[in-house]
Amino acid sequence: MQTALGPSTASRVVANRQVRTARAPQVVAASSRFADVAQAPPDPILGVSEAFRASTSPNKLNLGVGAYRDEDLKPVVLSVVKKAETKIVGRAENKEYLPIEGLDAFRKATVDLLLGAGHPAIQEGRVAVVQSLSGTGSLRVGSAFIARFMKGATVYLSNPTWGNHRNIFGDENVEWKYYRYFDADTVGLDFKGMMEDLTAAPAGSVVLLHGCAHNPTGVDPTAEQWGAIADLCKERNLLPFFDVAYQGFATGDLDKDAFAPRLFVERGLEIVVAQSYSKNLGLYGERVGALVMVLNDKEAATRCLSQLKRLARALYSNPPTWGAKIAAEVVNDKELFDEWKGEMRGMAGRIERVRGELKTALDAKYPDKDWSFITRQIGMFSFTGLTPAQASGGRRVDNMTNKHAVYMTRDGRISLAGLNSAKVDYLANAIVDSVRNA
Ligand SMILES: Cc1ncc(COP(=O)(O)O)c(C=O)c1O
């Protein structure tokens, strides 16, 4: 067959063979120079979605990936996003490159969200901000900055943490270690262990903190504990690096969810922040976020921004336009901003409701066990305490997936955003069966 692009693949292969035969009579074995490249393991989170898609079970439930679903378990495009997109299309703007540091209106909106509009650090020009590729890309720029300007510093990650943190720092050859965070006995925060480990961290280390709605545990420090962590960072000269992936999504309130980074700044600490609009604005695939450095000195902020730009230039040159325009449009327009807050409360509220329903169902089915941790945890996830290999030797996560077609990560985390009222009973039965029998 002849196509518009020229001869068919088959005839091209024949032609190439003839050329090769004519020039080099010796036949070279068909083999790749990359034949020895090992297969990478599937991503522990996105791999769950792949397995879910392959499942033929009529009951299958995907509680693996942290993406919001409505009550019909369908992906959602927020109404404010649609309105913002209509406005942007109406302006018929060009597709020119953005500056390396990103869209100005977006950068302003993002820092306003983080610190509160009119914050002294903004007015004094002490904030360096680069728009980047959502939370992950922003963390990666931060990691590259640490590798270049904090040589030898160790990054302390909570144990457990979002699985990609290890890759993000490891791939930049930044050493990372864990600090204690989760107490399996109380299904709460191991605050004492956390403080001991951070006290023992060498001065000049970096501490990765989840701004709110800790992933995967859903366990956050209290306001008082945040204060103590800030004081410790100051005393031990540790650099707090906040991962803010859920602002507004945890409690439905943007200001409440920014409590921790704002407190640190109020106490005079310099902070680095990776912000994401994936969850709170539902812009997952648009890759919208920023890396922000709130510093104590304007000149240092200017120089750091120049270096962040230098790093971004080599990594991806400049960030994408579309999602940044949407976020800027929503945050900078009073009407859309107010509507967004309502939609955020709606998402956070739905998750809170199914949390309550799940706890009620588990209490009814297995009253001897304390399920109160489910409603104590906040954000998108619940850390169920189901693990692949319990002390008893059971394999509870395998049981959840293999027997009940409930797809979840192997650390026992479930995304409540993937649950609706109709499926609560089914999930509760699967959990009880796995706890009792696996
Ligand atoms: C804790 C945490 N940080 C960062 C991210 C990054 O998300 P994205 O790159 O989509 O903004 C996620 C996403 O699940 C997350 O849970």
Tell me, what CATH number does 317's domain have? Answer: 3.40.640.10
**Catalytic annotation present for 162:** yes
The domain containing residue 144 runs over which residues? 97-332
Among residues 309, 310, 229, 311, which one has the least CA distance to residue 271?
A: 229
Judge if the beta carbon of residue 215 lies within 6 A of ligand 1.
Answer: yes
The share of the chain scoring above pLDDT 70, in percent, equals: 92
- On the CB side of 275, how many CA atoms lie within 13 Å of its CA? 33
Tell which residue, 151, 196, 197, has the closest CA to residue 178: 197
CA–CA distance from 309 to each of 203, 241, 303, 438 (Å)?
27, 19, 10, 52
Cα separation of 244 and 276, whole Å?
A: 7
Of the residues 332, 363, 386, which one is the last residue of a structural domain?
A: 332
Query: Which ligand 1 atom lies nearest to the CA of residue 277?
Result: 11
Is 403 within 8 Å of 437 (Cβ atoms)?
no
CATH code assigned at 366: 3.90.1150.10
The mean pLDDT value for 12-18 works out to: 44
Catalytic choice (190, 226, 279, 371): 279
Do residues 366 and 266 share a domain? no
pLDDT surpassing 80 at residue 8: no
| Mean pLDDT of all residues belonging to the chain | 91
Query: Do 51 and 110 fall within a single domain?
Result: no
Q: Which atom of ligand 1 is nearest to the CA of 276?
A: 11
Q: What is 202-259 written as a DSSP string?
A: PTT-EEEEESSS-TTT-----HHHHHHHHHHHHHTT-EEEEEES-TTTSSS-HHHHTH
My answer on whether 282 and 319 are in the same domain is yes
User: Average of pLDDT values for 392-396?
Assistant: 60
One domain for residues 274 and 357: no
The pair of three-digit structure tokens given for residue 429, joined into one six-digit string: 């039965």
Assess whether the C-beta atom of 246 lies below 6 angstroms from ligand 1. Answer: no
Give residue-wise pLDDT tens across range 134-184: 999 999 999 999 999 999 999 999 999 999 999 999 999 999 999 999 998
Q: For a substitution probing ligand 1, which of 276, 280, 411, 413 has the most ligand atoms within 8 Å of its CB?
A: 276
- Across 9-18, 85-94, 381-390, the highest mean pLDDT is recorded for 85-94
Q: In this structure, are residues 244 and 274 in contact, taking their beta carbons and an 8 Å threshold?
A: yes
Domain shared by 119 and 266, yes or no: yes
Do 372 and 250 lie in one domain? The reply is no
Q: What is the pLDDT of residues 105-147, one digit of tens each?
A: 999 999 999 999 999 999 999 999 999 999 999 999 999 999 9
Would residue 279 show up in a list of annotated catalytic residues for this protein?
Answer: yes
Mean pLDDT of 205-234: 97
Domain count, the chain: 2
